[in-house]
Amino acid sequence: MEGRSANQQCPAVHAGRCGCKNDGEALSQSALPARCMPGGVAVSTMEGRSAIQRCPRGARREVWRGLAPLPMAEADGAGGGRCQRRGLGAEAERDAESPGSDPGASGDSDMELLRSLLSRTLGLGGEKPEKVLEELTLEGVSRFLQSQRCRNVVCMVGAGISTAAGIPDFRSPGTGLYSNLQGYDLPYPEAIFEITFFKEHPEPFFALARELYPGQFKPTLCHYFMRLLQDKGLLLRCYTQNIDTLERVAGLEPERLVEAHGSFFTSHCLRPGCRRQYGLPWMRERIFSSLVPKCEQCQGLVKPDIVFFGESLPSRFFTLLQSDFQQVDLLIIMGTSLQVQPFASLVSRVPINTPRLLINKEKTGQSDPLMSLMGFGCGMDFDSDKAYRDVAWLGECDKGCLELAELLGWKKELEELVRKEHAAIDAKATQGDKGKAVGGSQDPPPPSGDGTETPPH
């Protein structure tokens, strides 16, 4: 229970999540299969404090920590935890021993967890750091990117890559989304993205959605730089916190894209017995008609498949990061504050010798080793004498991508791609306006639902 500790009985043996509940809220969720034995004890913690939760011998050990509030494009999640404004999230750090093993094995698993954390954050007891960049500059990154050692690039992106398209980020003073919600009569700014508030008062969110709705903006040069990486066979995956679908518009293949906090691309009825799915055109028509979208089948409230506070992140996110962050040769982080756990912790999941490039307005993701060991921060090191793999390019994301493209010899190709794609978007918009003037909307019909569909993964 929020604000105090309580012992809960873990209900049964099952896989996927430790599902102890308190007043209907899941206290723990695991990104990987968890085995919680009957009669096991799960411990909830006071808000904002770290604690250890132990399930019985043979189960998973999970580390709990408080999460700061961020919705949608910045409501980060790398464990199985729910997005909660004032809640707690859990990250399953390490598998423990199998059921039925020796009782003393529990201590061994504890040591293995500590060993893993030390190796990952301090480079102790594992692979030794090796400097793979010739120099810790954008030039050094460009030469590595062109070498045979770099075959798999992972991009992690946030709201900062879309500001050049006219979409506000969340936190910039004066211009950020949270600074401009006074007209929506909210109890607090984050409420507009909170699932419990949305179910009772959906009108403010849909009013805001009219201003931010996909289809009104063009992808930025940064989006098309990732498209070039894909076209050249270098992009393993793009992990985006954004819900604006501009990665899709820029031509990133669905297989290369992980929308960590969902998107407007599909919507679902919120009634558990229905869950009918609707497409982007269906939702757009209702939002721009100033209607609260209601299900055609049961008249339940229909919500875009974006992650609100109080909702779980897509399972695809957890499934792919397990393999992607073992294979990655270069991590490029763009337009994100890296202030909120656990999304920011993805940065520390890459192999110890994998270079990490930050393209952002300011340096971020830095933390001291002790905080990293406790699970907070990313431990990025740009300036110390021990820095060996992290590079920060400070400025607008588009300018950083253009400079990197120039160093790679891709500048003209990138500029031509942006020009061609933007012209195609303009032409399509013009054709659509003419079609509406003659015969109404040209949107295709929404997909049908069979009442059993679940949110997209």
- Euclidean distance between CA atoms 197 and 201, whole angstroms: 6
Phi, psi (deg, nearest 5) at residue 253: -70, 145
Task: Report the candidate in 333, 335, 338, 342 with the shortest Cα–Cα distance to residue 313.
Answer: 342
Task: Report the candidate in 46, 85, 79, 92 with the shortest Cα–Cα distance to residue 67.
Answer: 85
Q: Return the amino acid letter for 216.
A: Q
For 456, the 3-state DSSP assignment is: coil
Assess whether 261 carries a catalytic annotation: yes
Q: Return the amino acid letter for 167.
A: I
pLDDT, one tens digit per residue, over 258-290 is 999 888 889 999 999 999 999 989 999 999 998
pLDDT recorded at residue 324: 97
CA atoms within 13 Å, Cβ hemisphere of 103? 0
Q: What is the DSSP string of 284-314?
A: HHHHTTT---B-TTT--BEEEEEPPBTEEPP
**Distance between first and last Cα of the chain:** 30
pLDDT recorded at residue 8: 37
| Residues 63 and 19 sit within 8 Å (Cβ to Cβ) | no
Cα 309 from chain centroid (whole Å) = 13
| Residues 300 and 265 sit within 8 Å (Cβ to Cβ) | no
Q: Return the amino acid letter for 184.
A: Y
Catalytic one of 201, 261, 422, 457: 261
Q: Hey, how many other C-beta atoms are within 10 angstroms of the C-beta on 78?
A: 24
Provide CB contacts within 8 A for 268, sequence distance 6+. 275, 276, 277, 278, 302, 303, 305, 453, 455
pTM of the model: 0.68
Q: What is the mean pLDDT of each run of 10 residues along the chain (457 residues)?
A: 37 34 34 33 33 34 31 37 36 33 47 56 62 96 97 96 83 56 77 91 88 81 98 97 92 96 91 95 91 95 90 88 95 89 82 96 78 60 92 98 98 98 91 55 38 32
| Residues 275 and 452 sit within 8 Å (Cβ to Cβ) | yes
| Residues 197 and 397 sit within 8 Å (Cβ to Cβ) | no
pLDDT recorded at residue 278: 97
Q: What is the DSSP string of 199-227?
A: HH--HHHHHHHHHH-TTSS---HHHHHHH
- Euclidean distance between CA atoms 5 and 380, whole angstroms: 34
